Structure formats: structure tokens, C-alpha cells
């Protein structure tokens, strides 16, 4: 039988930075959100993903760098509050740099452990 972990513990572990102040990497299996049926859709497995969060350092892709750019840099960024808490979503960054939005209700597996809501 597979080990289990509670969703609140998964969210806490995802938010916890490592010693260098960077987001930790994790493996996650999740279903997409089907907006028509309001249920889980396709199954996705992401390896070495990390939560998009304010990280220390000079990473140009970090949320801190994107929020604090100078207007003279001519970067077009639309700032909109994603309301992650009320929408029950999180943004994760994949190894290839792609950012995916996941619904926390549909997390199935985290680091090889079955997730219990």
C-alpha cells in the first residue's frame, strides 16, 4: 500500500523554501480542471516542478523580479491578482520553464505519496 499525506501538509511543503531561499523541487500528479463538467479532467504528471514563489537571488523569471521591473525596461506584464486562495489554485514551474496552473483539489500524488484531501 502506498504512503499517504494530507493536502494541507503538501501545500505547506510546497511553500517551504530550501536553505538558499529557493523553492524546493517536487514530483506531482494532478488532474486538470474541466470547467464544463466542474470535475477533474486529464491526468498529468510533472517531475522536478517547483512552486512559483518569491525567491531570493537574481533570477529574471522569479515573481519578485517580474513584479519589481523598471518601466524603462519596456517589459509588458499584466499584473492581476490570481486569487489563488479563493480559487484553490497554485502556479508551478516545470523544468523547461513553462508555468502551469493547477487546482489543489485535484492533486493525486506528491513525491510518490497518495494525497488525502
H or E segment and range at residue 22: none
Does this model's pTM top 0.75? no
Burial of 49 (C-beta count, 10 Å sphere; 0-12/13-18/19+) = buried
Residues 6-65: tens digit of each pLDDT: 999 999 998 888 887 788 899 999 998 777 777 767 899 999 999 887 655 555 555 555
pLDDT of residue 43: 92
Report the C-alpha gap between 24 and 13 in whole angstroms: 8
Cell numbers linked to 94: 516545470
Report the C-alpha gap between 45 and 57 in whole angstroms: 28
Amino acid at each position: 500500500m502506498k504512503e499517504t499525506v494530507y493536502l494541507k501538509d503538501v501545500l505547506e511543503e510546497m511553500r517551504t523554501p530550501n536553505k538558499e531561499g529557493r523553492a524546493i523541487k517536487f514530483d506531482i500528479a494532478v488532474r486538470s480542471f474541466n470547467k464544463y463538467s466542474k470535475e477533474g479532467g486529464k491526468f498529468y504528471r510533472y517531475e522536478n516542478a517547483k512552486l512559483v514563489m518569491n525567491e531570493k537571488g537574481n533570477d529574471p523569471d522569479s515573481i519578485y523580479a517580474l513584479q519589481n521591473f523598471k518601466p524603462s525596461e519596456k517589459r509588458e506584464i499584466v499584473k492581476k491578482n490570481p486569487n489563488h486562495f479563493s480559487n484553490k489554485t497554485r502556479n508551478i514551474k516545470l523544468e523547461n520553464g513553462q508555468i502551469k496552473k493547477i487546482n489543489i483539489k485535484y492533486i493525486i500524488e506528491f513525491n510518490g505519496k497518495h494525497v488525502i484531501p
